[in-house]
Every structure is written in structure tokens, then in C-alpha cells.
Amino acid sequence: MAHLASFAISLIIIVLIFGMGQCRNVGKLEWESSKGYLLYCPCSGRFTGQVEQLMSALQFSKALGRVLIAPSFINYPCGRKDKHNHFGVQAPVHIDRNAYVQIDEYFELDEIKKFYPDVITMEDFMTELAPLYWKQGNRIAYCSNGLADINNGKCTRDGNPFRTFWEDQGIEFDDSAVWTNLYFNVEHTGIAKQWKEAFPASEHPVLALVTAPVISPISTAVEGLQHYLKFKSMIREPADEFIENNLPKPFWGLHLRNGADWSRTCDLLSTGDYPHLLSSRQCTSKQGDSVTREMCLQSEEQVITDIRYQLELAQENNRELPKSIYVATDHVAMEEELQTAFPDIKIVTWGPDLDQKDLFVLTQADDVILNCVSAFSAFVKRDRDVNEKLVAFFGYLDPEKVLPKVTRSPPHEEL
């Protein structure tokens, strides 16, 4: 009997352990009725653009005192490969739907909570709280009157990701709530109070915004939140190993944007009417400065010329020259051309198949030359800024360079 009792106890322990391993954070969350919740769709841009939305949402949620339900990152089909990536993970063969990656699969959630503790993942919210406290029949989508006016008075929209995001999260809205004269810039006095008065948590427990609470360009305060974004070890460790095995130090990093879609975006600059485009304010900060096409898209000759200029500048400042250069790109790395132009420097690339790996390697470089217009480059610049590392931009290396001036804003701020 003693043996049976011992076996029974052991079996119970095994079942409990197995259950804990299978059920993610079950029973961990409590409903915060006095605070309320904030949820949004990261419906604009790819990974680095969605990171900016996350940082803005952190600031917005903290100002309103609401719990932030951090949405999953949207990984679009054309951004995934049907083969093993460099981390050995098998991607699906048939890639025709969005994939969703939780925030805590990319970033250390505990680090983010050092800025604002009230952050939970969408999966945890939908698994633990929504079935009890945000049931179907009481789910309201929130948007501005500007969006509702062009959408038959409703906040929900068709298309990818505007509808697919919510559907894939198992969310169907029952009604819309439209606001007028409310703005996302909670750094301005009184804005957060206006939101609290318009949508108190007691009456609007889950503020589900159909767009991210972001202003463009993001403010200096929001940029500083990059300090709390620390990649998970599954990203850092293989990248560190790659650096150790392939990049003799000191090493520099380059970010080249030269895909066909990017070239079409840069064609907009040929008119001379754009004082800014996408993330270009990271290097055109002066009033009236206009971003140029060469700051957006670089030829092989310009890339080589700019690298030479940066090497001469480093030599003048008695800085050690790079033994290797890492190239991150969305299309063509120019690896052979760069190796021919700089035979004494090892040129290395890792392929355009995982943004997070490229981002981490660029943040670790001794020096970088980035793309002024790209949000991908903006992620790297913010990280290097908060860690006091050097940054330069293609087409804008000369500190005495005078940019063209324009007096009017472009018709569209985001593309």
C-alpha cells in the first residue's frame, strides 16, 4: 500500500508539472476594473514600424493609467521564407497568411515593465480575461471620426491587416465608438485627462483602438523607450556567436535598402517637395531641410564613396579602422563589389531573412552607416543613441552639407 501511495503521489506531481508546462500563465492575471485596458492593431508597417507603435502605445497607456494589451507582431507572408532560416527554424512551405509573434518572443517583457509594469500579452488577455470579462456581444471598436466618416460610420475596416488581424486573434466587434477632437500626443498638457473623461474605465473597460496611438514623427521621449527593448536570448546568442566567428573586430555595419518597392518610394523625392519621408527626420532635423533621393537610395558608386569618406574621417580622428564590415539589406548586399573596393576589409552578410538578427548585429557594430529614410535604420539609430554609439547616414556624411529647402509639407506623411 505504501508503494501504491508513493506511486500515486508521484503521478500527481508529474501531472501537475505537465499541466504547468502545457498551460501558459493560467490563473496569473486578475481583472483590473479600475484601470481598464488598452488594445490596438499594429496595422501600419512591418516589424520596425510596429516597434515604434509599441513604444508610443507604452507611453499612451501609462499616461491614461490603462493596462496595455501588447498585440502580437504581424509577420506578413512576403517577409517569410519557405526554408530553414539561420536559426534552424523550419518555416511553413505554404505561406499565404499572416503569422503572429508575441512581444515576449522577441523582447524581454520584464525589461519593458521597468518602464511600465502594466503590460500583458494579447494571448494571455484573450486566454484568461476576455472569456470572462470581455465577452462577445460587448466588444466595441474605437476610432476617430475621420476614419469613421470614410468607412460608413464604422471603425472596422476590410482588408489585410485591418480585418485579418482581429479575425486571427478571435475578435469580432459588435459596435463602434467614434471620437472627435481627441489626439494621441499625451505629452501635451490635458490630453490624457480628456481621454479619461471621454472614455472612463468604468464605462469603457477595453479601449480597442483600430489604429495605433502613435504620432509621426515619434517624439524624443518615445525614442528613449528603446532603452527598454532588449532582444530575447534566442536572438542575441546566435547573433553574438555569428559576430565572434565571422566579424573580426573592430567591425562596421551598413544598412542598404535597394529593393524594387523601396526604389519606387524614393522616386517620390524627385519632385523636391518632401521635407521628410518616412523616418527621414532622424537626419533632417533642421526646419525646412528636405530629404534627397541619394539619402534614400544609393548606387554602388555612392555606397563605396561614402564608405571611403567615413574611413578617411575615422583615420583623421585616430580611430582604429574596421577589419570587417557587416552588410544588412532587404535586397542586394553588393558583397562582391565592396570586397573588390576594400580588399583589406572582410565584407560579410547574413542574408535578408530575419530582421531581428540584422538589427542586433548593427547595434553591436563599432560604427554604422544607415539609411536616412528607413524605419529599420531608425531602430538601429535609437538603440545606438541610448547606448552612446556612433551613427552616420548614406548621402549625409558631410557635416557641412547643405540640404535643399522646401516650404510646404507633402500630401502624405506615411506610406
Average pLDDT of the residues in 9-20: 38
**Residue/partner pairs of 299-308 with CB below 8 Å, 24 or more apart:** 300/334, 300/337, 302/394, 302/395, 303/254, 303/256, 303/334, 303/338, 303/394, 304/337, 304/338, 304/341, 306/369, 306/394, 306/395, 306/397, 307/254, 307/338, 307/341, 307/342, 307/369
Q: Binning pLDDT at 50, 70 and 90, where does residue 285 land? A: low
Query: What are 75-133's pLDDT values in tens digits?
Result: 887 644 443 343 344 444 445 688 999 999 999 999 999 999 999 999 999 999 999 99
Cell numbers for 230: 532588449
pTM: 0.84
24, pLDDT greater than 50: no
pLDDT in tens, 119-160: 999 999 999 999 999 999 999 999 999 999 998 899 988 888
Cell of 31: 481583472
Q: Round to whole Å and give the CA distance between 72 and 53.
A: 12
User: How confident is the model over 288-315, as pLDDT tens digits?
Assistant: 567 888 899 999 999 999 999 999 999 9
Tally Cβ neighbours within 10 Å of residue 343: 8
3-class SS at 345? coil
The rounded Cα 266 to chain-centroid distance in angstroms is 21
Classify 54 as helix, strand or coil. helix
Taking alpha carbons only, the member of 298, 370, 361 closest to residue 334 is 298
Length of the chain as a residue count: 415
Residue 402: CB atoms within 10 A of its CB come to: 8
pLDDT band at 28 (very low <50, low <70, confident <90, very high): confident
Q: 54 — phi, psi (to 5°)?
A: -60, -45
